[in-house]
Amino acid sequence: MNNNLIDLTKIGAFPIVNNKILIESKRKRNLKINRNLSLTNNLLRDLYITFGDGSFCKGVYLSNINYRIHKEFIKTFNKYFNIRKNEFIVSLTVNKKFGGEDVKKSILFWMNSLNLKKIDRFYLTNFNTDQKGGIKVIYDNMKLSILLKNLLNHINELVSENQLDKRKLCFILDGILNAEGGAGIDKKRWGLHKITISFNPHNKEEKLFFYEILSKLSLDDNIKISQKRRYEFCGWYNHYRFVKIFFENDVIPFSLSPKNAIKLLWGFLNHKRTKSIYKYLKAINKKEEQKFSEVNKYLNYHKSSIEEALLKKFNKFDFFIVHKSKRPYKVSITEEGRIFLKLIKKLEKWLDKSEKLYFEDLKLLQEVKMEEKMLPFERIERKMLIKEEAETDPKYGIKPEERPVEQLINYGIINVNKPAGPTSHQVADYTKQILHIKKAGHSGTLV
């Protein structure tokens, strides 16, 4: 049995025309869907994004503030379920506190980002939204709703019966993360604090299915339930196991939510424990077996620090083996340690990719002049004058738009138009809190 190919006629009674499922509609074009549906990775991800942030009642709809998620949703449902872009109803909701110009910019942002000709419905609300508001994409058809519900139930059964491989489970989990996930940074320890997956406390099916996916991926150990509405992964080793399962299956977590992806990847890579273990393993990996003194040559740490780290602090993680048969003790890297080194390299590449996506998002906001994302000098229309065309040698630096976030934060300068009231010292402190950094200074002329 090929679990990657589903015969839709076996999960519901639907009319067949030329070997295609016919979804009839009185007001719209009839949909013709391939009878044999391939369970691709992207389809699984997008179905479970909709499961988390949408509904399959009376058709299908998705509600989210992330344009990338909507873009993939429209693309997927066009490819697999034959729904054209202009057949979706697009509804925009913006908080009442934003004025007429803000609303125009919000409409323009969504039309540009989703390549739409118009927004079908518009509502002002008391719910808290940012300036760009939130979008709901809707396709109303009860017969399609029945097909999609049956399809989702069938996939859930495949999950329960262990009929899907771990890579496909990772894509399902990625869909859940994009819809309901989050990552938090610890401001004091300067690293990843927790990974969260929210669920509807009144929807037992959702809560249990999220747990089942985590269980199938062996991520159910030490999960905490917070406020009866979300699963939390806390502690460095749990975070390591979480990113490791994605690394092993070559799936980027938060693939459509670059801001959360950056928090997760950057937070883990910059965690104090991650950086310490990585330094030790790089040194240990230079030879098959090394004395502690040889490791110390690479690290140049105090002898007592090396002994404490190798015998107590990091010895519980199975990244290396300490040979105690005779003195002086020797240490060698394990297969788990080599996996850790490869994982770090992979996460760095994923982080670079996520940063590029995030800057694309900021650029899109700036194109419609969303003021919340722009500094005063950025609102001025400027022209670039070119005296002579020339190439830049990359060995002398990196283009500003290609610099990684960590480099911008460590070596960047922020121009602040400081109002009367807070002192320069207070503004520097605000900067540290907003950017989650340890050091920030100030200089300039106070008028």
Residue 50 neighbours by CB under 8 Å, 6+ apart: 56, 60, 62, 73, 179
pLDDT for the residue 378: 47
Domain ranges of the chain: 5-160, 272-333, 413-447
Residues 202-252: tens digit of each pLDDT: 999 999 999 999 999 999 988 999 988 999 999 999 999 999 999 999 999
Distance of CA 79 to the CA centre of its chain: 24
Over residues 177-188, the pLDDT tens digits come to: 999 999 998 876
Higher pLDDT, 403 or 5: 5
Cβ–Cβ under 8 Å, residues 218 and 232: no
Average pLDDT of the residues in 61-81: 95
Per-residue pLDDT band for 3 (boundaries 50, 70, 90) equals: low
Q: Which DSSP string do the residues of 381-417 spell out, in sequence order?
A: ------S---PPPGGG---GGGS-HHHHHHH------
Q: How confident is the model at residue 300 (pLDDT cuts 50, 70, 90)?
A: confident
Indicate the SS3 state at residue 252. Answer: coil
In residues, how long is the chain?
447
pLDDT of residue 97: 82
Can you read off the two tokens belonging to residue 173?
Answer: 């989990």
Window from 11-25, 55-69, 151-165, 394-408 with minimum mean pLDDT: 394-408
Calpha distance 261→269 (Å, rounded): 12
Confidence band, pLDDT 50/70/90 cuts, at residue 2: low
pTM of the model: 0.81
Average model confidence (pLDDT) for the chain?
Answer: 88
In terms of Cα–Cα distance, which of 98, 209, 231 is closest to 158? 209
Q: Rounded distance, CA 411 to CA 440, Å?
A: 10
CA-nearest of 404, 397, 399, 407 to 437 is 407
The share of the chain scoring above pLDDT 70, in percent, equals 95
Contacts of 12 (CB under 8 A, 6+ apart): 146, 147, 150
Q: How confident is the model at residue 350 (pLDDT cuts 50, 70, 90)?
A: very high
